[in-house]
Amino acid sequence: MNKKTALSVNLNKVALVRNTRHLGIPSVTRAATLCLQAGANGITVHPRPDERHIRASDVPELATLLKEWPEREFNIEGNPSHNLMDVVHDLVQRKLPVHQVTFVPDAQGQFTSDHGWGFPGDVNRLRPLIAQAQAWGLRVSLFMDADPAAMAGAQSVGADRVELYTEPYAAAWGTAQQAPQLARFAETARAALKLGLGINAGHDLNRDNLSAFIKAVPGVAEVSIGHALIADALELGYSATVQAYLSCIQEGRA
């Protein structure tokens, strides 16, 4: 049984809706507040260079909010070769909370994250960036495909955790490929844990498939969920939705 699995709510889609008008609604910080009040363990944002959802200005506002929740975490994800390191360094200089950076190999303007880092090809690119983030006192997670053999590469560049890219599992949900996909994620997690890496997971996890994933995949420390959770919140509200996802996690840990 997993000891604990944290829920980090990704607020990108709240910002996406806000950006369609110039009224400042829905408020990203208000959404974060309601999710934290409902029991979310952290907040995730992905400030892309084109600012199509989260803007650079949102990040310090959210970090300032997180000062009121010292037991919760702020996770910022993105490509460290684009704007991520500058955004994070700004928080570090301001002494604002940021706990984890998740390095994602997205191209400029990419529709959504759809693959993990590759080794040995990304070794030289990642190693100094990971070292820099850790020198700032941050935990570093690498967005990775479910490939047991790739975990050694993540460990070799100094990552603290891997975030398993779960879209292939979500796409297989309810099909004959569901069990094989789960088995591959479980095997990957075991390989990572054996190397001393922590396990995060995210992408297309939802209320239907989350519990089975937590139950089958050992050692999941955190799930980062955005699109499905915000879609559910449009119908249920933030509080009820966060509580529903926490219940899914609890069911998976039972």
Catalytic sites, residue numbers = 46, 77, 203
SS3 state of residue 137: coil
Nearest to 146 by CA among 199, 107, 195: 199
Gap between the Cα atoms of 39 and 51, Å rounded: 28
Q: What are the DSSP E strand ranges found in the chain?
A: 6-10, 42-45, 73-78, 100-103, 139-144, 161-165, 198-202, 220-225
Gap between the Cα atoms of 14 and 247, Å rounded: 22
Instruction: Classify strands 42-45 and 198-202 as parallel, antiparallel or unpaired.
Output: unpaired
Nearest to 160 by CA among 118, 131, 122: 131
